[in-house]
Amino acid sequence: MTNRHVAPLGAPCWVDLWTSDVEGSRHFYAGLFGWQAEEQNADYGGYFMFTRAGVPIAGAMGDMGDMRANDTWKPFFATQDIERTLKLAAAHGGTVRLPATPIDELGSQAVIADPSGAVTGIWQPGGFPGFTALHEHGTPSFIAIDVPDYHRQVAFYRQVFGWEPLEEEADGHHYAGYLDLENSRPIAGIGDAVESLAPGETPSWSVFWQCDDVDASVAKVSALGGTVLTDAADHGLGRVARVADPSGARFWLFRPKG
């Protein structure tokens, strides 16, 4: 288990679900992870938080007026200077989707698309640091993405977010892992194993949610109306399975080795 007061600069610090079925998502994730779904906030377009034992874990919202939810999870990366980060993103091949927007005293957010087209958020914390619990059941463990242009993607996150990842090459594939230096755990990764993407699927960041028992969680996904995309299997960092909630939002279940 990891508890932190604030995310390291450039690190994932929050995740949002944009769901076409708000009530269904509230039920599904409560059943899967034991989360509590807070009340929707009309002042923020119906946005609400999922919490676990009273600790914020993730956010979610439904359709935004004429903008229909696309059933995806979106990570946010931490910055101390959101305007500078947006300028760096635009200068190095990214596209600004939402300019810096203050959220009361909580902080400021922005949204970009990186060079692969993957949509990510940027968060400059004020009173709200993002998630503070990691690496335990029902909390984020890390995020990852596979892209066709690996070297450009790694360069973008180095230049914009200050990443200094550990890079590996094996079996014809490249992988860059960004570590939390305080505990040497991976918190983000970039790879080029694009054959892992479904036909027609564009690159996007995937959230790996930690589970005490991946196989039991896979069974819950099915029982709650979700879809198992890849069966549970052992890989380099631990046991994983790729699944989707009933609306189609994809994510991974993960139990680390050891």
What pLDDT is recorded for position 97? Answer: 97
| Cα–Cα distance for residue pair 178/186, rounded to 1 Å | 6
If asked whether residues 18 and 77 sit together in one domain, one would say: yes
If asked whether residues 22 and 79 sit together in one domain, one would say: yes
Q: Which residues make Cβ contacts (< 8 Å) with residue 25, sequence separation at least 6? A: 17, 19, 60, 245, 246, 247, 249
Beta-carbon neighbour count of residue 193 at 10 Å? 15
**Which of the listed residues 91, 107, 125 is the one where a domain comes to its end?**
125
| Cα–Cα distance for residue pair 16/256, rounded to 1 Å | 23
Candidates 130, 77, 119; CA nearest to 97 is 119
If asked whether residues 244 and 170 sit together in one domain, one would say: yes
- In the chain the first and final C-alpha atoms are separated, in Å, by 13
If asked whether residues 193 and 84 sit together in one domain, one would say: no
If asked whether residues 167 and 218 sit together in one domain, one would say: yes
What pLDDT is recorded for position 146? Answer: 95
**Which of the listed residues 89, 107, 125 is the one where a domain comes to its end?**
125
If asked whether residues 111 and 165 sit together in one domain, one would say: no
What pTM, to 2 d.p., does this model score?
A: 0.95
Answer whether residue 3 is part of any domain: no
What pLDDT is recorded for position 196? Answer: 78
If asked whether residues 120 and 154 sit together in one domain, one would say: no
If asked whether residues 141 and 112 sit together in one domain, one would say: no
**Which of the listed residues 125, 148, 179 is the one where a domain comes to its end?**
125
Q: What's the domain count of the chain?
A: 2
Amino acid at 153: Q
Residues of the chain below pLDDT 70: 1-2, 181, 183
If asked whether residues 158 and 221 sit together in one domain, one would say: yes
Mean pLDDT of all residues belonging to the chain: 94
Quote the domain boundaries for residue 199.
Answer: 134-256
If asked whether residues 92 and 157 sit together in one domain, one would say: no
CA 155 to chain centre: 20
CATH number at residue 175: 3.10.180.10
What pLDDT is recorded for position 2? Answer: 63
| Cα–Cα distance for residue pair 243/230, rounded to 1 Å | 7
